[in-house]
Amino acid sequence: MDGESKTILCGSCKVPLQGPEDPGPKDTVACPNCDRGDTVENVVKEVEAYAEHEASRYLQDAARDAAQRSQFMTFDGPRITPRTFRFIVDLDL
Ligand SMILES: [Zn+2]
């Protein structure tokens, strides 16, 4: 992480959540489009789960690609199934 703050998006509409200026953990932020919202605390937890999930999928895909190009490597673990998350961020993967 580079300390740059990421815009949190609605997992369904992919639009930035709206909330109070400089929200605290107990403040509620919500999607202006579908009204999906939660406290900042819960939204951050969801986004962290999303980032972790996406990062493992990304790494697995990279390992799988490498294995496909190599005759010395095989990769046959179960594929991580894409999940949907209530809230997401743009990850620069
Ligand atoms: Zn929405």
Q: What is the 85 CA–ligand 1 centroid distance (Å)? A: 11
Residue 77 lies in a domain: yes
Q: What is the 54 CA–ligand 1 centroid distance (Å)? A: 20
The per-residue pLDDT for 49 is 97
The pTM of this model reads: 0.81
Residue 3 lies in a domain: no
The per-residue pLDDT for 3 is 52
Domain count, the chain: 1
- SS3 string, 41-85, reads HHHHHHHHHHHHHHHHHHHHHHHHHHHHHCCCCCCCCCCCCCCCC
Tens of pLDDT, residue by residue over 71-85, are 887 877 788 888 999
Strand partners, 39: 28
Residue 16 lies in a domain: yes
Q: What is the 14 CA–ligand 1 centroid distance (Å)? A: 7
What range defines the domain where residue 82 resides?
Answer: 8-89
Tens of pLDDT, residue by residue over 5-51, are 778 999 999 999 999 998 899 999 999 999 999 999 999 999 999 99
Residue 2 lies in a domain: no
Q: Which residues surround ligand 1, an ion (CB under 5 A)?
A: 10, 12-13, 31, 33-34, 36
Residue 54 lies in a domain: yes
The per-residue pLDDT for 77 is 78
Residue 1 lies in a domain: no
Q: What is the 13 CA–ligand 1 centroid distance (Å)? A: 4
